[in-house]
Amino acid sequence: MDRAIVEQAARGDRDAFGVLARVHGDRLYAIALRILNDTGRAEDAVQQTLVQAWRELPRLRAVDAFDSWLHRILVNACYEEGRRTREWSSHIRVLPIDGPAGPDETRRLADRDEIDRGFRRLPPEQRAILVLHHYLGLAPSEIASTLGIPVGTARSRLHYAHRAMRAALEAEERSVEPAEEVAR
């Protein structure tokens, strides 16, 4: 990121901020979509993030940390979106699965469907950790920096998120098995 553009925006240059918003918009949306699993709420979270980033930008001390600062605002906006709707599952629209489902794809899509259902069982805080790690590719130390938490806490949260994901998958399997038995 061009440091000069961030500094310009921090000084109140709306055009410079527009550049930042366009550069980061798609990435922010992709992250929010994965955490919230809902296009409408992801759009709301990104919009809130951009407006808050504009308001708070003059207070950003470390311009080089702009990316992680922006991600932190986004994650908090996603949490807020999550809090607004307590019943997560009742508002989820399933994201489309890209690509044709040829014979070789069958198992992969089955896995994906399984992961999708398991992922939707997780609370937003655990989804956020998994998205930062598996989508953005952040190491625990970078997650810690992004979320403003100690590295040990980031490691611990990541561990528990993986564990929760495994538990969610097992719960999914248990809920499917009886139905299969009835079918037989």
As measured in angstroms, the least distance from the Cβ of 5 to another protein is: 15
Helix (H) or strand (E) holding 40: helix 39-56
Q: Residue 52 Cβ, how far from another protein at the closest point, in Å?
A: 7
The C-alpha atoms of residue 122 and residue 57 are separated, in whole angstroms, by 32
Smallest distance from another protein to CB 82, Å: 12
Which residue type occupies 145?
Answer: S
Buried b / exposed e along 68-92 (16+ C-beta atoms within 10 A): bbbbbbbbbbbbebbeeeeebeeee
Of 118 and 182, the one with the shorter C-beta distance to another protein is 118
Nearest approach, Cβ of residue 28 and another protein (Å): 7
Nearer to another protein, 89 or 182 (CB): 89
Name the residue with tokens 């790690």.
Answer: 133
Radius of gyration of the CA atoms of the chain, in A: 19
Pair of tokens at residue 2: 């061009």
Distances (CA, A) of 36 to 29, 103, 134: 10, 31, 15
> Is the Cβ of residue 2 or residue 13 nearer to another protein in the bound state?
13
Half-sphere exposure in the Cβ direction for 24 (13 Å, CA)? 25
Q: What is the helix (H) or strand (E) element at residue 135, kind and residue range?
A: none
Q: Give the pair of three-digit tokens for residue 93.
A: 């629209």
CB of 182 to another protein, least distance (A): 24
Quick one: 88 or 172, whose CB is closer to another protein? 172
Which residues of this protein are in contact with another protein, per CB under 8 A?
10, 12, 14, 17-18, 21-22, 25-26, 28-30, 33-34, 43, 46-47, 50-52, 54-61, 72-73, 76, 80, 83, 98, 108, 111-112, 114-116, 119, 130-131, 134-135, 148-150, 153, 162, 165-166, 169-170
CB nearer to another protein: pick between 88 and 182: 88
| Residue number, 117 or 182, with CB nearest to another protein | 117
Beta carbon of residue 11, minimum distance to another protein (angstroms, whole number): 9
